[in-house]
C-alpha cells in the first residue's frame, strides 16, 4: 500500500483520550445530583451543556478513524477494527469549515456488508507549509481532500461534486444541536 496521505495520529488519538475525560466530568455531575449534593447555579447551568458534549463526544468516538490514503483505497483504523474503504463505495467527501485548528473531513460511504451508508470523520495530517498556513483560511481545500475526490471520480465517473453537502454542514449541525441544551440551561437557573 503506497501511502499518499494519512490522518494525524496525534489529533485522532488525543480525541480518544479527551473524550473519556469529558464523559467522566458529566458522570461526576450525575453522581453529585444522585447523592443530593447542592449544586451552584453555575454548575446547574452547565449540566445540559455536559449532556450535549457527552453525546457529541460519543458520536465522535464512533465515527472518528485514523486513516491511510493510497491509490487503491483508504485503510480505516478505529479502536477495534481495520477496514479498507474502496473509492467506488464513497457517496461523498466533505472538508468542513468547522474545526478547532484542525480540519475535519467527513466521508459518507456505502458499507458493502450491510448495505447501509456510514459517515466517518478524519482529522488529516498537514503536509506542506502551504497547507499548514491554510488553517488561517479554512476555505482552502487540503491536498488530501482533493486527492480523495479525484480517486472517487476515477472509480465512479457519475460522481457529482455539487451533491456534496455544504462545507458548513457540521458547523450548522453543532449550532442547531446545542440550542435546545442552552435553552434548558437558562431555564434551570431561573
Task: Give the C-alpha distances (Å, rounded to integers) separating 120 from 61, 93, 108.
Answer: 10, 10, 7
Cα–Cα dist 51/46, whole Å: 9
Quick: pLDDT tens for 82-114: 999 999 999 999 988 765 456 789 999 999 889
Q: What is the mean pLDDT of residues 134-142?
A: 65
Residue 56 predicted with pLDDT over 60:
yes
For the ranges 8-12, 119-123, 131-135, which has the lowest average pLDDT? Answer: 131-135
Q: What is the mean pLDDT of residues 110-133?
A: 79
Cα–Cα dist 166/24, whole Å: 33
Quick: pLDDT tens for 27-50: 887 787 778 777 777 777 777 888
Q: What is the mean pLDDT of residues 48-57?
A: 84
The Cα angle at residue 66 between residues 139 and 69, in degrees rounded to 5: 70
The alpha carbons of the chain give a radius of gyration, in whole angstroms, of: 19
Give the residue extent of every domain in the chain.
3-189
Does CATH place domain 3-189 in 2.30.29.30? yes
| CB < 8 Å & 24+ apart, contacts of 175-178 | 177/52, 177/56, 178/49, 178/52
Tell me the range of 31-35, 66-70, 181-185 where mean pLDDT is highest. Answer: 66-70
Cα–Cα dist 164/6, whole Å: 22
pTM: 0.81
Would you state the pLDDT for residue 1?
Answer: 62
Amino acid at each position: 500500500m503506497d501511502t499518499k496521505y494519512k490522518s494525524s495520529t496525534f489529533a485522532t488519538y488525543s480525541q480518544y483520550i479527551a473524550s473519556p475525560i469529558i464523559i467522566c466530568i458529566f458522570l461526576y455531575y450525575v453522581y453529585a445530583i444522585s447523592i443530593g449534593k447542592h449544586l451552584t447555579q453555575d454548575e446547574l447551568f452547565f449540566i445540559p451543556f455536559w449532556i450535549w458534549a457527552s453525546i457529541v463526544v460519543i458520536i465522535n468516538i464512533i465515527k472518528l478513524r485514523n486513516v491511510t490514503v493510497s491509490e487503491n483505497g483508504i485503510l480505516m483504523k478505529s479502536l477495534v477494527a481495520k477496514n479498507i474503504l474502496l473509492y467506488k463505495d464513497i457517496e461523498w467527501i466533505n472538508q468542513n469549515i468547522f474545526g478547532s485548528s484542525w480540519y475535519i473531513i467527513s466521508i459518507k460511504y456505502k458499507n458493502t456488508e450491510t448495505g447501509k451508508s456510514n459517515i466517518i470523520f478524519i482529522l488529516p495530517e498537514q503536509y506542506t507549509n502551504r497547507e499548514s498556513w491554510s488553517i488561517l483560511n479554512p476555505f482552502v481545500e487540503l491536498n488530501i481532500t482533493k486527492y480523495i475526490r479525484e480517486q472517487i471520480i476515477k472509480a465512479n465517473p457519475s460522481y457529482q461534486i455539487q451533491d456534496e453537502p455544504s462545507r458548513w454542514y457540521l458547523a450548522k449541525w453543532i449550532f442547531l444541536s446545542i440550542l435546545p441544551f442552552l435553552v434548558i440551561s437558562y431555564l434551570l437557573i431561573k
